[in-house]
């Protein structure tokens, strides 16, 4: 009797893997992984359903995390406010007006303890979207896991930690490229020994796409950055078959359904060949694992309920493209941080795709489609044209320093906006099918008093902690930063003494300078 789980409503059996009538030599789970990194993909287990959240104080974000976990979220994804991202405590003059606005304010280990209050880190996976201060936030997470009694060798999650795309597309960098790359490779080395299940970087195409790139540019610039990180780690003497297993990627999923699917398939194949060329022989080090977020820049403030359809379309493309985890945006995010109601619909969108649509019942169902296979090949070829140019310049750092990547993205963004304004590209509800009276849903607002609350917490912390221990930890970090030692143990010690994020970042600013 056929397994009802893998049959249509009419009782027709789904095959696990479909091949062309003539036979397809490449199968899912086999090099170069075009068709997926696991042989059974979602038949074994669905992708991780993450919801990106973080706002206001650690207390308020903690409430949202408990709510999301109660609704079936399988992993947490933390958004940090801008001061946290660029290494300023909430009481810093430059933090005024930004505390808690686009993410949660985390000033010290005390805030991290509150953020995950009642949540055992050993039982979840956590993704943290943080780059310039990734080493500090990771140290806080490790310190909290230790305080909870967890075996840090068993905790798992991801830090974004991709500073190259910050220079190219987003702007939340602190230090010059060379010391920034040192911090990244220090994290690679430290985690490979101490926190081996942690994904030490999420190489991000998401923000490249949000800045206005095309799908080809997102693919090319992201993998070029990935090559740069591989080479930096190899130059440090790390084993590619070890550290490359803990590299992951973070892609955008935009509106063009088939192009996005082909982009994900091409990315896997390209990364498998790039890692192999650089010496990776372990299949685990050759596999491109990625998280997807639906396109924030595709959301419209006009007729915002239409965004539910856009997000559904993008989420389905990500699933058919073989993503390992997925965040779906709230329909109201063009207006504000997502409300609880919008976050719930976003999560339900993933759950309906996973458990009602039937697309998870077979592996790579679009394989063998002439259009998909041809588009995959064409995207790969176009991306390699960019990568070859970047290699000729000396790699991503040199290409960024020469403003090449930034200019290419800017030109693509300009062309896209011109197409919208001319009407050549239709945006429903924006330049076509508009309506005179717009109905605006309730929006989420962050109270401006958050900075006062955070400042008071910082004052209390500094009066209660052992300030001599903090001073000693920061001095030791300063000495290590002037040398060549791995900085992670020193940052962890500073965090555990309750040195603040701003104090640690400032100590490194004094040694490395600002960019």
| Rounded alpha-carbon distances, angstroms, from residue 45 to 48, 91, 202, 280, 315 | 9, 45, 22, 27, 17
State the pTM of this model: 0.90
CA 114, distance to chain mean position in Å, is 23
pLDDT for position 62: 93
Closest to 228 (Cα-Cα) out of 203, 261, 191? 203
Sketch out the chain's domains with CATH numbers.
41-434 (3.20.20.240)
Report residue 51: phi and psi, to 5°: -125, 120
**Average pLDDT by consecutive 10-residue portion of the chain (515 residues)?**
69 77 73 95 91 76 89 85 97 94 94 97 92 98 98 95 94 95 96 95 95 97 97 95 95 97 98 98 97 96 96 98 96 88 94 95 91 95 98 96 96 96 95 85 76 96 98 98 98 98 98 96
Residue 1 pLDDT: 41
Buried residues in 311-336 as b, exposed as e (16+ CB within 10 A): bbbbbbbbbbbbbbbbbbbbbbbbbb
Give CA 163 to chain center in angstroms: 12
CA distance 115 to 56: 11
The secondary element (H helix, E strand) that includes residue 243 is: helix 240-243
């Amino acid at each position: 009797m056929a397994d009802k789980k893998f049959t249509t409503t009419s009782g027709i059996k789904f095959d696990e893997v479909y091949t062309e009538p003539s036979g397809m030599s490449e199968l899912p789970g086999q090099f170069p992984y075009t068709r997926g990194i696991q042989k059974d993909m979602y038949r074994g287990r669905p992708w991780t359903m993450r919801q990106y959240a973080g706002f206001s104080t650690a207390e308020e974000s903690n409430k949202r995390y408990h709510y999301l976990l109660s609704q079936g979220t399988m992993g947490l994804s933390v958004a940090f406010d801008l001061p946290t991202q660029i290494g300023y405590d909430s009481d810093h003059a430059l933090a005024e007006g930004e505390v808690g606005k686009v993410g949660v304010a985390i000033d010290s280990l005390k805030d991290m303890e509150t953020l995950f209050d009642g949540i055992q880190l050993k039982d979840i996976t956590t993704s943290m979207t943080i780059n310039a201060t990734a080493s500090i936030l990771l140290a806080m997470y490790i310190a909290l896991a230790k305080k909870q009694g967890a075996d840090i060798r068993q905790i798992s999650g991801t830090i974004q930690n991709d500073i190259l795309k910050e220079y190219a597309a987003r702007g939340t960098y602190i230090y010059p490229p060379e010391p920034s790359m040192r911090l990244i490779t220090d994290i690679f080395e430290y985690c490979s020994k101490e926190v081996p299940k942690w994904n030490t970087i999420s190489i991000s195409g998401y923000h490249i796409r949000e800045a206005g790139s095309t799908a080809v540019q997102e693919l090319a610039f992201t993998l070029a950055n990935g090559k740069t990180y591989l080479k930096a780690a190899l130059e440090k003497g790390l084993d590619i078959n070890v550290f490359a297993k803990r590299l992951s990627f973070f892609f955008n999923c935009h509106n063009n359904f088939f192009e996005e699917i082909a982009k994900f398939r091409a990315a896997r194949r390209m990364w498998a060949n790039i890692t192999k060329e650089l010496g990776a022989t372990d299949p685990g080090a050759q596999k491109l694992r990625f998280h997807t977020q639906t396109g924030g820049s595709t959301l419209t403030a006009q007729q915002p309920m239409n965004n539910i359809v856009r997000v559904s379309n993008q989420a389905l493309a990500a699933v058919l493209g073989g993503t390992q985890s997925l965040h779906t945006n709230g329909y109201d995010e063009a207006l504000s941080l997502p409300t609880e109601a919008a976050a719930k619909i976003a999560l339900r969108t993933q759950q309906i795709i996973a458990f009602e649509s039937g697309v998870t019942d077979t592996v790579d169902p679009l394989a063998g489609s002439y259009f998909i296979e041809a588009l995959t090949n064409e995207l790969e070829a176009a991306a390699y044209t960019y990568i070859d140019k970047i290699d000729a310049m000396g790699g991503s750092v040199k290409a960024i320093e020469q403003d090449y990547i930034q200019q290419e993205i800017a030109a693509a963004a300009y062309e896209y906006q011109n197409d919208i304004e001319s009407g050549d590209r239709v945006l429903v509800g924006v330049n076509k099918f508009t309506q005179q009276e717009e109905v605006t849903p309730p929006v989420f607002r962050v109270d401006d008093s958050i900075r006062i609350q955070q400042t008071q917490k910082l004052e209390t912390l500094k009066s209660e902690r052992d300030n001599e221990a903090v001073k000693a930890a920061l001095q030791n970090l300063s000495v290590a930063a002037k040398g060549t030692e791995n900085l992670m143990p020193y940052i962890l010690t500073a965090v555990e003494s309750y040195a603040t994020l701003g104090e640690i970042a400032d100590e490194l600013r004094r040694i490395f300078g600002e960019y």
